Structure 1
Amino acid sequence: MIKDRIEATDFRDAMALLPTAVSVITTNGLSGTHGFTASAVCSVTDSPPTLLVCMNQSARSHGHFVDNKVLSVNVLGAQHEPISNAFASKLSSDERFEQGSWTKLVTGAPILEDALVSFDCEIEHIQEVGTHSVLMCRVVAIKPSESQGSIDSGLDESLVYFNRAYHYVGQVEPI
């Protein structure tokens, strides 16, 4: 059924059918260390390397990301479902970061050591659109998984969100 006016619930239901990678977005700086789970992340351009991250303005850590002006995008593998759930929960920031092992690259934003890939970024521009902020982030460092491409590792499946549930995508058998 085609409607002239699109209701928010109809839009959310339709977007649930768009599979998306799951990432944990983190920041660290004068405003503290914070993070959240996101599926609204995409590349913008490779010259200069830039990512787009969408964040709800009502999120409790929103102001911290704006203040710190840095973030990392940690792309999660199938084994990271508990970390995704922790960063999407009401746990405190300290409790969230008890999940997984973390390190830092250039900006100081936490990098998940065994993420499929992590992008360390400086936030260059913020655009408010409706309920969300669109963060335009220049990538200053990239850390790929050390097990990337290792068929025996079993860690090369990506965690994706589709139809309001987690799924795993990736090649686990050699071609």
Structure 2
Amino acid sequence: MSEATDFRNAMSLLTTAVNVVTTEGTAGMHGFTASAVCSVTDTPPTLLVCMNQTSRSHAHFVENKVLSVNVLSAQHEQISNAFASRLCSEERFKQGAWTQLTTGAPILEEALVSFDCEIEQIQTVGTHSVFMCRVVAIKHSEQEGGQEESLVYFNRAYHQVGQVEIV
């Protein structure tokens, strides 16, 4: 087994939130499904987003210099699959209802939470670009009653995490 395969197998056991990362600007509207997203700091609010440089939309994110991270709920498995597929951007964005906040990057209206960001730095690490993203706006889910669960990825399969409150 190669070192890369061993690493990927080990990483499959790290539970991660499922996100759709989107951009819009002079390079057009694009998006992809990502699990490599995490908080860097809250002062200033900053996220780290990793993207494979061979992705067909990589150059568009670099050119647009903005992105949004849309954290998916358990009901969004189909949207995750669409943004991970070979569908064109236009077909991907037919899934779900989209709006905008500050940067113009598409925000999924029913996401658990969406972070609207400006890409401040890009660092190359191996096959990926690491985007350091300054959060300029946040939109929380409008679902009431705490009935949402998060869509997570573990052991190469989707799962649901969260507690449904009975009121």
TM-score relative to the length of structure 2:
0.97
Inter-partner Cα distance in structure 2 for 1:100 and 1:174: 27
1:9 and 2:1 equivalent? no
Task: Return the match for 2:82 from 63, 86, 89.
Answer: 86
Paired letter, 1:161:
Y
Q: Does 1:77 align with 2:69?
A: no
Residue number in structure 2 paired with 1:53: 49
The 3-state SS of whatever aligns with 2:13 is coil
Which residue of the partner structure matches residue 157 of structure 2? 165
Separation (CA, whole Å) in 1 of partners of 2:59 and 2:96: 24
Structure 2: how far apart are the matches of 1:135 and 1:173? 36
Gaps in structure 2 of 5+ consecutive residues: none
Secondary structure of 1:160's counterpart equals strand
Which residue of structure 1 lines up, in the alignment, with residue 106 of structure 2?
110
**Residue in structure 2 matched with residue 21 of structure 1 by the alignment:** 17
- In our comparison, the structure showing a higher alpha carbon Rg is 1
Deviation at 1:174, TM superposition (A): 4.4
Q: Which residue of 1 aligns with 2:134?
A: 138
Once the 2 structures are TM-superposed, how far is the Cα of residue 140 of structure 1 from its aligned partner?
0.1
1:66, 1:52 → 2: CA distance?
Answer: 14
TM-superposed CA distance for 1:55, in Å, is: 0.2
- Quote how far apart the aligned CAs of 1:147 are: 1.0
The structure 1 segments of at least 4 consecutive aligned residues displaced by more than 6 Å after TM superposition are: none
What is the CA RMSD across the aligned residues, in angstroms?
A: 1.4
How far apart, in 1, do the equivalents of 2:81 and 2:127 lie?
Answer: 22
Q: How many matched pairs?
A: 167
1:121 aligns with 117
> Which amino acid in structure 1 is aligned with residue 120 of structure 2?
E
Q: TM-score, normalised by structure 1?
A: 0.93
